[in-house]
Structure formats: structure tokens, C-alpha cells
Amino acid sequence: MTENETGPSEDLIETASESLERPRKQGGLSDTKIRRYTRVYVVLPIVFLLVTLFGGMRFAAADHSFLFLPPPLICLIFGAVTIFLIFRARLIDFESWFDERHPILENAANAGVILVIFAASVQVYNLLLPESGLANWVVTALFVWTLWNDIFADFDQKKLLRSFAGLFAIAFVTKYLVLSNLAVKNDASWLQRILENPGKEAATWFLDLPVYSPATGYLQFFTILLFLFGLFLTPRTANTKKLSS
Amino acid sequence: MLVFRRGNYTTMRTSYFHIACLLIVAIGMTLIVFIYSTQPKTFTEIATKSSVAIGTYEVNRSEFENGIAAFRRDEFEAARAAFDRADPEKRDAATQFYVAYSFYRQGWGRVSNDNGLFTKGLSAAERVLQLDPNYRSADPQLVMRTPIELKAELEDGLKITPSDFNPLKITRERK
């Protein structure tokens, strides 16, 4: 093949590829897809994995060392109910995320995202429930009551997000502001603590409250915000075909 | 042709995102399960436990040598502190053997032994047996070279037997 013959065909290819690129750039469909895929398949898993990591993390009061508390069984149940509510309120459209017409890889990736949402919601309940004692029983009972009512309530996406935000806010205030202020730091002797602050010492003993470093509250506050931000970012439909239609 | 190639290109990109998602989830969940199961207390411990998990854990040789030097000077607490720094995960049979031996030598008494130190030495000797049942020390200055001998000596020291009341016992030597 001579240079004269190849030259025009290459020009044609370039022109054709430019004409194909132009609508992509002008319409922004491809860029939108890339941004959406980045959000769903990269940003969301990272956000929810961070929530999963930090949800059980506490700082010891004595030396600020890390403590990683695995979630109790009840948190798994709460997490499952949360996922059920997310599907029921159509915050996530199940038919769009899992479809037999999709490639297996896409279904697997979507299942991975749902898995991290479940793990993160389990850890959010882990961080909100008091670890032991009477307070644990009371807050668990309140969560059961609220989630049981939510199952039968008529939700849409916004109402569900508001409901979660309200539930988490009140539980956070209860645990990290009210109950943590009732717990006595263990830097004084038992007798000294009783003499100086008998009310707090009695509350610590009666409620069986563990004492953590104040940094725990800050970390858990941002963990809850991150979880709600992750839910806010979660699209109802997973693929862009339904989005564009 | 070009459309076909472009179509291929788009499909590849989509599958890249799906693969990336699965990798992020798998690696992330593995890391989280690892952290929650090993319970590290500091960032240093996270690094040490990670090196154990991936098989690159090594004893700090200089700290180990410091420990040996302190052990030979009969500074057993300093020796154990150096051995702890050398082998924070307690995974090296040689280091743990010296730890057990230091408890034995510190706890040994001509008239009576320190039961607390001997008990700690016994648990260290058992740790050595778990790590390497066939371990044999190459140190010529040690009388007992295997964890089995050391364990037997420690167990013997913890028991009260008629031989403990033998006055000739004070003539025995520390091993």
C-alpha cells in the first residue's frame, strides 16, 4: 500500500473518530457514566468501608490506645432491618441493582456495594448502642420499637433518610453526651471518686458504663455523618440505562 | 469498525469499574476483619501484625543482641524488656527461650524459688514449645539447651517435694 493510499484513509478514521467523540463530549453522557460509575463502584464502597472500620473503634480512656469492638448479634439484626427498609422505601431499587439480564460481573459488583452498606449499617448500630449494662438494654429496646414501627410505616427515600438521621442523632446524644457524662473517669481511687462525686460514681456502677477517651465521641460523630452521606450518595438505580431513559 | 471498537472500549471501562469495586470490597473487608480479629492497640501494632500476616515479620536483631548482653550480666528485667522490643509478637522461639530462661535465673534461689517468676517462665517455655517443639539453643553458656529441659526444671521448682527439705539443697548451683 502506498503513502497516497494510506493517507486519506487515516484522515477518514481521524475525522470519523472525532465525529464520534464530539457528541460524547457535548452530550456528556460518557463523562456522566464515568462519574456515576466512580460514585457507585469506587466512592460508595470506600465510604461504607470507612464506616465499617470506624463503627466499632473506641479510644481507651487510660492511654488513648485503639479498641476494636466487634458488633453484637443484635446489631446484625438491626442492620438487616435497615437494608430491608432501604429496599422497601426504594432508596435502592432492587430490580435495577440485581437483574438476570445484567452481566454477572455487574450483579456481583452491585452485591458488593449492598454488602458494604449492610456492614456499615451494622457498625453504625454498634457505635450507637451502649456496650453493656442497663443502658444497653434500654437503648436496644428503643431501637427495636422504632425499627419495628418503621417496617410498617409508609416511607419514601427522603422520609427514610430523615428517619435514620433523627434516630441516629437521638441515640448519639444519649450515648456520647448524656451517658458518657454520667461515667466517671478512672484516674482517681475508688474512695476518692465516691467522696468527690457520689452521684456519678453511683450512675457508673448502676448503669455499668464503660469509660472511653473523649476522642471516641468525635470519631463516632463523623462516622455517623459519613454513613448518612453515603446513603445520600447512593443512587436509586445502579445502571445508567435506566437513568438516561 | 470504529463504532465496534468504541463499543468494546466502553464495555471494558464498565467492567473495569465492576472489577475495581469487587477488589475494593474484598480487600477492605479482609483488612477490617483482620484488624477486628487481631485487635491492635497502636499504629505500630497494626504494622507489626500486618507483617506477621503477610509473612515478613522479623526479630529486631540489635535489640535481641542487647537482650542477650543484659541476660549475661544478670540484668534480667532489662533483658526481657529488650527481648520484648525485639519480638513484640512473641513469635520467635529463640527470643522466647531466653525470656523463659531469664525468668528461671531471676526466680532461682538457693533456699527457695520465686513461684511468680517461675510460673511466668513456665508459660514462656510452653510458648517456645508451641512455636518450635524441636528448638535447641546453640548458646554454649546455657546449661539447659531445650525448652523441654527448661520446662521440667521450672515445673520441678514449683512443686513442693521432700527433697526441698534436704539441707544439702543449698549446695546446688543455678543452671
Q: What is the average per-residue pLDDT within B156-167?
A: 78
- Residue B18 neighbours by CB under 8 Å, 6+ apart: A41, A103, A105, A106, A108, A109
Measured between alpha carbons, how far apart are the two ends of chain A, in Å?
Answer: 46
pLDDT tens digits for B1-50? 344 444 455 555 788 899 999 999 999 999 999 999 989 888 888 888 88
* Residue A68, H or E segment: strand A66-68
Cα angle A233, B8, A244; round to 5: 40
Q: Which residues of B76-128 form beta strands (DSSP E)?
A: none
- Residue B41 neighbours by CB under 8 Å, 6+ apart: A60, A65, A66, A67
**Closest residue of B to A238, CA-based?**
B18
ipTM value, please give it: 0.78
Residues in chain A closer than 8 A to B31 (CB atoms): 53
In angstroms, the CA A197 to CA B157 distance is 49
Q: What is the average per-residue pLDDT within B131-147?
A: 90
Which pLDDT score, from 0 to 100, does residue B163 have? Answer: 73
In angstroms, the CA A148 to CA A82 distance is 11
Q: What is the average per-residue pLDDT within B69-73?
A: 93
Choose from A66, A127, A223 for mutation: most chain B CBs within 10 A.
Answer: A66
Compute the mean pLDDT over every residue in chain B, rounded to the nearest whole number: 86
Which pLDDT score, from 0 to 100, does residue B4 have? Answer: 43
- Residue A208 neighbours by CB under 8 Å, 6+ apart: A132, A133, A134, A135
Taking an 8 Å cut-off on Cβ atoms, the answer to whether B35 and A53 are in contact is yes
**Cell triple for A133:** 449494662
Minimum distance, in Å, between the CA of residue A216 and any CA atom of chain B: 14
Which pLDDT score, from 0 to 100, does residue A214 have? Answer: 85
At what angle are helices B61-72 and B93-107 packed, to 10 degrees?
20
B41 touches chain A (CB under 8 A): yes
In angstroms, the CA A107 to CA A100 distance is 8
Residues of chain A with pLDDT under 50: 1-19, 21-29, 243-245
SS (H, E, C) A2-61: CHHHHHHHHHHHHHHHHHHHHHHHHHCHHHHHHHHHHHHHHHHHHHHHHHHHHHCEEEEC
Given a cut of 90, whether residue B56 has pLDDT beyond it is: no
Given a cut of 90, whether residue B82 has pLDDT beyond it is: yes
Please report the sign of the dihedral spanned by the C-alpha atoms of residue B80, residue B83, residue B89, residue B92: negative
Q: What is the average per-residue pLDDT within B153-169?
A: 79
In angstroms, the CA B93 to CA B137 distance is 9
Given a cut of 80, whether residue B139 has pLDDT beyond it is: yes
Q: What is the average per-residue pLDDT within B46-72?
A: 87
**Closest residue of B to A54, CA-based?**
B32
Q: Is A72 exposed, middle or buried (0-12, 13-18, 19+ CB in 10 A)?
A: middle
Minimum distance, in Å, between the CA of residue A109 and any CA atom of chain B: 5
In angstroms, the Cα distances linking B3 to A17, A20, A240, B144 are 9, 8, 20, 79
Compute the mean pLDDT over every residue in chain A, rounded to the nearest whole number: 82
Which pLDDT score, from 0 to 100, does residue A27 have? Answer: 44
Q: Which of B123, B121, B127, B94 is nearest to B108 (CA)?
A: B121
Q: What is the average per-residue pLDDT within B74-83?
A: 93
Given a cut of 60, whether residue B166 has pLDDT beyond it is: yes
Taking an 8 Å cut-off on Cβ atoms, the answer to whether B17 and A37 are in contact is yes
pLDDT tens digits for A128-183? 998 888 888 989 999 999 999 888 888 788 888 888 899 999 999 988 888 877 77
**Cell triple for A32:** 456522566
**Closest residue of B to A52, CA-based?**
B32
